[in-house]
């Protein structure tokens, strides 16, 4: 399954190519020179591929969904073929999602969600920096021990997020995503508590009893 970070990378690649094309236009080449034309053609091809990649890479987080909506609404190729009312709707969607994500720092759910995100970042950074480059058994044993602690930190942070009552629909969507990403349905007898809290959130946010 494609992770949300892959969408972010695709979007950044598109932005980098845009920046390179702008820089290339500003270089004082001879008009219609072979160097200029070859460089421009190569970047134009990469640009077209980047557009397709951003448009087809799944956005798996609310932040990425907002970014994709904004991308569609602002891309010239889309503006030429989509009616203005559709652009306004897409921009409104992006703004709505962005507003849902704009939580105050004193929000208990936001604090726990950020702690989970930091735990993920710490684990990924350690993995990239410390994965042994050899088959040495002691090196791998030490690495796996350290990763075990980081895996535990991610799991505990994820459980804290899921057990915190969701203040709105955006929070509930994040909880559901984390529940699936961390495969929390396999966490033994505690899984019942997680499901009960998520179900209670849904009822409460739908206007029913919590």
27: left (phi over 0), alpha (psi -120 to 50) or beta: beta
pLDDT in tens, 170-207: 888 888 889 888 888 877 677 788 888 888 888 888 87
The CA distance from 159 to 152, in Å, is 11
pLDDT in tens, 40-53: 788 888 888 888 88
CB 51 within 8 A of CB 80: no
Backbone angles phi and psi of 71, in degrees to 5: -60, -50
Instruction: Give the C-alpha distances (Å, rounded to integers) separating 207 from 130, 163, 171, 204.
Output: 49, 20, 16, 5
pLDDT in tens, 108-150: 898 898 899 889 989 988 998 888 888 888 889 999 999 999 9
* Tokens 């009616």, located at residue: 83
Residues 82, 72, 114, CA angle at the centre, nearest 5°? 150
* pLDDT, position 1: 31
Instruction: Give the C-alpha distances (Å, rounded to integers) separating 202 from 24, 50, 132, 146, 206.
Output: 52, 38, 44, 37, 6
The CA distance from 89 to 180, in Å, is 30
Domain ranges of the chain: 4-101, 108-205
Highest mean pLDDT among 59-73, 98-112, 172-186: 172-186
* pLDDT, position 101: 63
The CA distance from 210 to 204, in Å, is 5
Helices 137-163 + 169-181 axis angle, to 10: 150
* pLDDT, position 161: 92
More confident residue, 92 or 198: 198
pLDDT in tens, 5-34: 588 888 888 888 888 888 877 766 565 567
């Amino acid at each position: 399954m494609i992770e949300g970070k892959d969408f972010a990378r695709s979007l950044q690649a598109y932005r980098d190519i845009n920046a390179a094309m702008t820089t290339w236009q500003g270089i004082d080449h001879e008009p219609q020179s072979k160097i200029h034309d070859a460089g421009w053609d190569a970047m134009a091809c990469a640009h077209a591929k980047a557009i397709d990649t951003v448009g087809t890479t799944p956005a798996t987080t609310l932040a990425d969904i907002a970014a994709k909506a904004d991308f569609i609404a602002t891309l010239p190729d889309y503006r030429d073929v989509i009616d203005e009312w559709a652009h306004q709707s897409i921009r409104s969607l992006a703004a709505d999602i962005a507003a849902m994500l704009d939580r105050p720092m004193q929000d208990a759910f936001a604090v726990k969600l950020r702690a989970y995100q930091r735990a993920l970042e710490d684990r990924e950074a350690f993995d990239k920096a410390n994965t042994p480059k050899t088959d040495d058994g002691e090196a791998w044993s030490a690495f796996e021990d350290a990763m075990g602690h980081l895996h535990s930190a991610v799991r505990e942070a994820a459980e804290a997020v899921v057990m915190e009552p969701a203040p709105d629909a955006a929070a509930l969507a994040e909880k559901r995503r984390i529940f699936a990403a961390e495969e929390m349905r396999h966490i033994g007898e505690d899984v019942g508590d997680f499901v009960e809290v998520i179900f209670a959130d849904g009822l409460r946010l739908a206007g029913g009893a919590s």
